[in-house]
Amino acid sequence: MAAEVKQLPPPVLTGGMPLMEAINARQSGRRYNPEHKVDDQTLSEILWVAWGVNSHGKRTIPTARNLQNMGLYVISPEGCWRYNAQDNCLEKVSDENLIPLCEQQAFVKNAPLHLIYTAVDDRWGRSHVGSAYQNVYLYATSKGMNTVVRGMIDTAALTAALPLPEGQVVIAHQTIGYAE
């Protein structure tokens, strides 16, 4: 499909809750107000903490042998978007609504933001995804948002639905939003 690109505002890379306080307050949150949307500034920062490029020109998370063999996608009822960290944008890769493939728990449909993590399973993929979703947990905590990472998804159907690089599969889903 023709590339449809959504440019993101630059992430603000200062401030936030002190790290030790954020770690101390981190927990999974499954309550979301569907009317309270995540704005583009916050979206940009969530994507950056998960899988952005930092001041060293490196990813915000480590990867085995620096393979950087992970992918981060935003899914919505309008389709699926791949995060391009170098260009700080989202590139549309599908018009399909993939959220029903993640809806095994009732709270999921209320979340305003859905991330999908992909990786190469036998190349430390789950470790890489774990680093990324933990960064999102800490960011969400810092911003007073709720988040939970989820393995209860149809990974085979999601993997089949996405145009993934060779060897990558869908590993996890993460919902993010505001309780109120």
Ligand X SMILES: Cc1cc2nc3c(=O)[nH]c(=O)nc-3n(C[C@H](O)[C@H](O)[C@H](O)COP(=O)(O)O)c2cc1C
Footprint of ligand X (CB under 6 A): 27-28, 30, 105, 148-152
Least distance from ligand X to the Cβ atom of residue 29, Å:
8
Q: Phi and psi at residue 127, in whole multiples of 5°?
A: -65, -45
Phi-psi label, residue 162: left if phi above 0, alpha if psi -120 to 50, beta otherwise: beta
**Which of residues 8 and 129 has its CB atom nearest to ligand X in the complex?**
129
**Which of residues 33 and 88 has its CB atom nearest to ligand X in the complex?**
33
**Which of residues 12 and 23 has its CB atom nearest to ligand X in the complex?**
23
Least distance from ligand X to the Cβ atom of residue 87, Å:
29
Residues 6 or more apart whose Cβ sits within 8 Å of residue 21: none
- In the structure encoding, which two tokens stand for residue 156, read together? 């085979």
Least distance from ligand X to the Cβ atom of residue 103, Å:
11
Helix, strand or coil for residue 79? strand
